[in-house]
Amino acid sequence: MDGAAFVTALGTLTNDTVAAPTQASNTDVYCGGEIKKGHFRYVFTDFEKMDEIVRGGTGLGIVLPLAAGEFKAVRFELTGATTAIDTMLKSAASIAAKDKRGTRDVRL
């Protein structure tokens, strides 16, 4: 889905703020910056691949590289994830359908 992203926040900063492949899906993830002191936003670049992984499993493990050759492993329980994703996609589609203005019509 265009414009959709899987995003998570962790209390860890990776050693590469541009992009790092994750072990779970071989999908790139990049640090989207600090969202509050000591917590950083991570964005997965391939929504469709992550959507397929989340819908097809009961758990998800993500491994991110840190400084000095260390790694951070994070595990997620996926119970209810499919319902949450479907709700999010339906809501986003509804909002997009209501806002048919082009950027020409938006006051910046």
pLDDT in tens, the chain (108 residues): 566 778 888 777 665 544 444 545 567 778 888 888 888 888 888 888 889 988 998 998 887 777 777 787 888 899 999 999 999 889 888 887 776 665 565 555
Q: Report the DSSP pairing between strands 39-44 and 71-77.
A: unpaired
pTM for this model (two decimals): 0.67
**Which residue in 41, 62, 34, 35 sits closest to 50, CA to CA?**
62
Alpha-carbon gap, residue 108 to 104, rounded angstroms: 10
What are the residues facing 8 on neighbouring strands? Answer: 42
- Report the SS3 class of residue 26: coil
Q: How many helices (H) and strands (E) does the chain have?
A: 2, 6
Q: Given this model, what pLDDT does residue 77 score?
A: 92
